[in-house]
Structures are given as structure tokens and as C-alpha cells.
A = this chain, B = another copy of it.
Amino acid sequence: MPIDDAKPLRADAARNRARIMAAAEQVFSERGPAASTEEVANRAGVAIGTVFRHFPTKADLLRAIMKDLLARLVSDVDDLRRGSEPGDALFAFFTNLVAHSARQKTVIDLLAAAGSELNVPDAVGTLERSVGGLLRAAQQAGTVRRDVGLAEVMALLVAVCQGAVQAGWPADLQTRTLAVVFAGLAPR
């Protein structure tokens, strides 16, 4: 049961599509969303036309990256729910996401801009639902206050990630900042 793509791609096309997305992730992370599609093509080792064949519009490319990254996040969440104590999973996910967001400037930027320019509603919604699961579990385990809502958790998540990414916080600053947030979430 294919989840995403209607038409199976030819082997070479699939390879190129993947290369392009990887290149785009890199390029946009390094140079921001204003980076040129041409550079993405170069980095992917294909001609510019190939990029536009796969993603008819630059915005389509950005959307595709975002969908992909969000999907990865959701699957991270699922892994965590299986592998950790329910009370810890939210904190673990939070910490992880911040730690990796350096590599994922794009996700974060796009997450932050989610409402505005690009539209990837279901993907964002899915992530939100996943995090919601973590939050409820943590609240039932008693590691997070009952009066904290999903909205503010998501807000803090995005905000801290974006801060971490854009300002390039070193590891210890990440830790100390998260300590404050976690203390704010804890009961009492």
C-alpha cells in the first residue's frame, strides 16, 4: 500500500529525485530558502531542467523537503514511545530535536513558517498529534504538569529549535536552555 506517491518512478528517476531532495536539504540549510535552484541542481549533479521536472516549482521543492523531514520527525516520535519510559519520551524527543536541528535548519524554518507561505497542513498536523501523544503520556506518568497544553508545548518546541538553529547554540547552551523549559513543564 503506497502511502505517498501515486506513480512508481523509474529507477533512475527515483535516484535523481532522492539526490535532488538531499541536495536541496543541504543547500537550503546552508543558504536559507533564498538559495538558487541552480545550486541545488549542481549539488545534486543533475541539470536544472531535471529539478523542475520533479518539482515544477521552487515552492513545491520546499514543500516536499518539509513533508519528508516532518515525516522523519513523526517516526522518531514513534520510536521514542516504544523505547523509553512514557514520562521521559517527551523530554527525549525535545532534546533530540533541538540537538539535531542544526542539521535541519530547513525543517525548523519551514515548521516555523508553516502557517504562512507554504502549506503542508497534514504533515504538521500529524506531528502535532504525535507530540500530543507524548504529552499525554508524560502527564499520566506525572512528569509534566496537567495544566500545560499541547499548543504551548509545540510553540516552545519550535521556538527553541529555531533559536538553536539560527543562532547556532553550542551544546551546553542547548542543555541549559532546555533545563529551564523542562523545569517549567515539571509539576510544582
Contacts and interface: CB of A to CB of B under 8 A. Distances in A.
The binding surface of chain A is classed by DSSP as helix
Interface stretch (A39-47, A70-78, A88-96, A166-174): A166-174
Interface stretch (A4-12, A56-64, A134-142, A178-186): A178-186
Contacts of A169: 155
Nearest to A178: B152
A114 interface: yes
A12 to B, nearest CB: 15
> How many copies of this chain does one complex carry?
4
A112 interface: yes
A6 B34 CA distance: 31
A163 B34 contact: no
A155 B167 contact: yes
Contacts of A114: 167
Find the residue from A158, A180, A188 having the highest chain B CB count within 10 A: A180
Contact of A173 (B148, B155, B179, B182): B155
Contacts of A162: 112, 159, 162-163, 166
Contacts of A176: 148-149, 151-152
Contacts of A164: 155, 159
Given A149-B176, A152-B180, A158-B163, A168 B112 contact: no
A36 interface: no
Contacts of A188: 188
Given A155-B167, A156-B163, A162-B163, 4 more contacts: A112-B162, A152-B176, A180-B185, A183-B183
